Amino acid sequence: MHDIAQLGLPSLQNLSQAYRDASLTTSACIKNLLQHIKNTDRPEIWITRVEESALFARSQALDLLLEQEGAAVFNRYPLFGIPFAVKDNIDVAGLPTTAACPAYSYVPEHSSTVVKLLVEAGAILIGKTNLDQFATGLVGVRSPYGAVRNAVAAEYVSGGSSSGSGAAVALGLVAFSLGTDTAGSGRVPAGLNGIVGLKPSRGLISAHGVVPACRTLDCVSIFAKTVGDAWTVLRVAGQYDAADAYSREIAMTGMRCRHFEIAIPSKLEFYGDVIAEAAFNKTLEKLKSLPHVKLKSIDFSVFTQAAALLYQGPWVAERLAAVGDFFHSHEKDMHPVVAGIIGQGKNYDAVDTFNAMYQLADLRRAAEIALQDVDFLLVPTTPTMPKIAAVEADPVRLNSQLGYYTNFVNFFDMAALAVPADYREDGLPAGVTLIAGAGSDQLLAAAAQSLFPIKNDTAVAGQPLTFHEATIELAVVGAHLEGQPLNWQLLERGARKVMQTRTSAHYRLTALPDTAPPKPGLARVAKDGAAIEIEIWEIPVRRFGEFVAEVPAPLAIGTVEAEDGRWVKGFVCEPAALEGAKDISHYGGWRAYLASKG
């Protein structure tokens, strides 16, 4: 059996592999993990922990399931045996929800939609984590349960408001965790603790059963060690939920496979932190050296103006609305800094709100124009990294600095992904964040894996989220096969590989001459046919036309019969091009033919 320490951080992928090769059971994982939590001795990370007896009952049930079903269990339960934690403003049935305010505490009868989905996928909940009270803060010190210390350097802030969730992943106490993100709370802890923070498109993950901060802006976020781990969780959690009025079905934009056009603020702000500035500049120099990357400087003032509205505009009134009557009757029970911020909501009226909404709409349009010719915006996740003592002495100003590159994102209806970059010269983490419009989630994940690779990551290419739109199945036979030179044309349109199969035994395959890249021609014949290897891909209907427009003669899109008898759209070849072309049907497929050529 593996000891958990031998696996390093108990990431989703290495735990899953250990379960698959039977070198670790879920019961052994939980036993070792509980000892690791005890040895780590970071009680401020947790507000509530699941009882050990319940954890072992859950893990033993999963062990039995694996024994009964074998490897098939991993298809039904994509998060089989994976330990996770949730921020304590997310409901879990039978556990208190405090939002880091004991006087506010209640025990929900039902779990939030997102927790329910994760548990149904086989994940094991370890506990609920500390946060800046009512998710108001980016520092992780505004909690009666204690300031959450940074996982790398304990005298520094962990970042908030999802402080405990970020530190728990960074310290290897769980494989992934849930936070929430209104102004950066799902990204700042990732940047300051050297992990991945995925803030999905707003409404992609249900917020039903989540204590709101600003309900029109809130997102549930994911912390993980790698982009692939976070993406695996998102594929489970990113489901439309009619119970959440802000949940929505979002069409994805697809990926970028060949080159990246990246926007960078023309004027960068680090508040005098020259070490943070040097780390980001080092990252930029690496990007500039890549032939497939083009950087474009843009005016960042539009984004900073929007960011200022979050706490210097009527959206603080939405925080007051979220807390409701509790604020008026329990203000003295709240953290004084949090109470002071939320109390400012009383200073705004409906006219202020509408005027601010008009201003925000103008800023959003200006931001769209600024980014219209690029794939995404790249910024430092945080401009600086303060110590806990400094934040406690100057709580509002230093907190505001941490939101410089984050506050505008939900205002502008954007997705964001925070990933580790080059460490600072003083050994502290330094992260960057990729940001683009709603629906860009896979684009950002694939770009991050390409530009900022993490050891032992798993690719997100070909693994789109659940399609919330009409799709069409397409059979490919040559240069569009997975791993072949033109496969990018499918990936960039958000296509997903459905299966590898063969045609019916009524086809011939030829190697077409003078094609670049080399391509085969597939033709149906009346006799002496063969079954030819194909892949069936699923592509959004809205992208199918532009894909077909790129298909060059003599190829065309027709209808192909698969081995199982179904007919799907697929690549065929004009008969005239087959005359004199080399017949390669006896190889059984394009890959086998290429392999024969060495």
Answer for the pair 103, 121: CB distance below 8 angstroms, yes or no: no
Question: Of the listed 11, 112, 185, 221, which one is catalytic?
Answer: 185
- Mark residue 181 as left, alpha or beta (left: phi above 0; alpha: psi -120 to 50; beta: remaining): beta
> Do you know the residue count of the chain?
598
Question: Of the listed 11, 31, 59, 87, which one is catalytic?
Answer: 87
**Positive/negative CA dihedral, 408, 458, 75, 535:** positive
Cα separation, 581 vs 217, whole angstroms:
59
Q: Is 387 a catalytic residue?
A: no
Cα dihedral: 284, 288, 289, 292 (round 10) = 120
Q: Which residues are 181's β-sheet partners?
A: 219
Kindly provide the residue ranges of all beta strands, DSSP E only, lying in 95-251, ordered along the sequence: 124-129, 176-181, 196-199, 219-224
Structure-token pair, residue 196: 């991945």
Is the bond preceding 162 in cis, omega lying within 30 degrees of 0? no
Cα separation, 72 vs 70, whole angstroms:
5
Among residues 243, 99, 277, 98, the alpha carbon closest in space to that of 182 is found at 99
Q: What is the tally of helices (H) and strands (E) in the chain?
A: 22, 19
Among residues 287, 572, 300, the alpha carbon closest in space to that of 422 is found at 287
* Beta-sheet pairing, 260-265 with 376-380: parallel
Q: Is 267 a catalytic residue?
A: no
Q: Which residues contact 552 (CB under 8 A, 6 or more apart)?
A: none
Structure-token pair, residue 126: 């370890």
**Positive/negative CA dihedral, 142, 146, 151, 157:** positive
- Proportion of the chain in helix, strand, coil states, percent, rounded to 5: 40, 20, 40
Q: Which residues contact 109 (CB under 8 A, 6 or more apart)?
A: 93
Cα separation, 565 vs 503, whole angstroms:
9
Residue with tokens 């190697």: 511
Instruction: Give the Å distances, CA to CA, from 539 to 253, 485, 545.
Output: 12, 18, 10
Neighbours of 412 (CB within 10 A): 22
Cα-trace Rg, the chain: 26
Question: Of the listed 161, 177, 201, 440, which one is catalytic?
Answer: 161
Instruction: Give the Å distances, CA to CA, from 240 to 120, 204, 358, 467.
Output: 16, 7, 29, 11
Answer for the pair 540, 494: CB distance below 8 angstroms, yes or no: yes
Q: Is 87 a catalytic residue?
A: yes
Q: In what order do the strands lie in the sheet with 496-502?
A: 496-502, 533-540, 471-476, 567-573, 555-561
| Angle in degrees, 0-180, between the axes of helices 315-323 and 336-343, rounded to the nearest 10 | 120
Among residues 448, 421, 446, 548, the alpha carbon closest in space to that of 490 is found at 548
The residues carrying an active-site annotation are 87, 161, 185
